[in-house]
Amino acid sequence: MYFEITVTTAELQKLAQRYNDMDELDDIEGVSYEQMMTMPEFIGSPLAPKIVRYYANADTNRIHGKEFLLICTMLSDKTDPKEKKEFLFDLFNNYDTEFITHEEIFEYYKLMFDGAISDDHILALAYRALRMPNLKVQGRVEKHEFVAVTIQ
C-alpha cells in the first residue's frame, strides 16, 4: 500500500532521528517488533501488532527506515482518512483479493471490540456487515464499499 507522504521536511528529520535512536539499541539492523510495540503511539492500540507485522521484514521480523516512515505517516493526523481506510482494508485483506469476507470482517471486529462485547455479538456484527443492502455482492465487501461505510 502506497500513499502520499504528508509530513514536512522537519517532521521527516525528526522521524529519521527517532528511527536511528531506536535502531541503535542493538547490533542488528532494523527496529525489532518488540521495540516498535513500546512506541507511545502503539501502546494500548489493538491494531498496532497487525500494522507492525504488515510492514515487518518477513525474514527478520524487523522494521527498516522506509517502513518506519510509512507506519508513522499512516498514523499521522495529516494523512487523508480515505487513505487510512484503504490501508485498513489492505491490512485485513488476508488473501489479497478484491474483497474481504466473513473471516476478515470478524478478525477486524474482534480486534476492535474484544473485551467490550462477546464473540457472539462480534459474529453477529460480521454477519450483519456482510448483508448490508448496498453491497454489490452479499457476503463480501469490496474496498470502495469498505471505505464508504467505515467510520472515521
For 99-117, how does the pLDDT look when each residue is reduced to its tens digit (9 = 90+)? 999 999 999 999 999 999 9
d(CA 8, CA 27): 30
What pLDDT is recorded for position 79?
86
Output helix, strand, coil percentages for the chain, rounded to the nearest 5.
55, 5, 40
Residue 132 structural domain = 81-149
Supply the CATH number for residue 145's domain.
1.10.238.10
Q: What is the DSSP string of 38-80?
A: TSTTTTT-TTHHHHHHHHS-TTT-EE-HHHHHHHHHHHSTTS-
Average pLDDT of the residues of the chain: 91
* Pair (65, 122) in one structural domain: no
User: Given a cut of 80, is residue 7 above it in pLDDT?
Assistant: no
Q: pTM, whole model, 2 decimals?
A: 0.86
pLDDT tens digit sequence for 64-108 = 999 999 998 888 888 889 999 999 999 999 999 999 999 999 999
- The count of domains in the chain is 2
* 57 assigned to some structural domain: yes
Q: Determine the straight-line distance between the first and last CA of the chain, rounded to whole angstroms.
A: 19
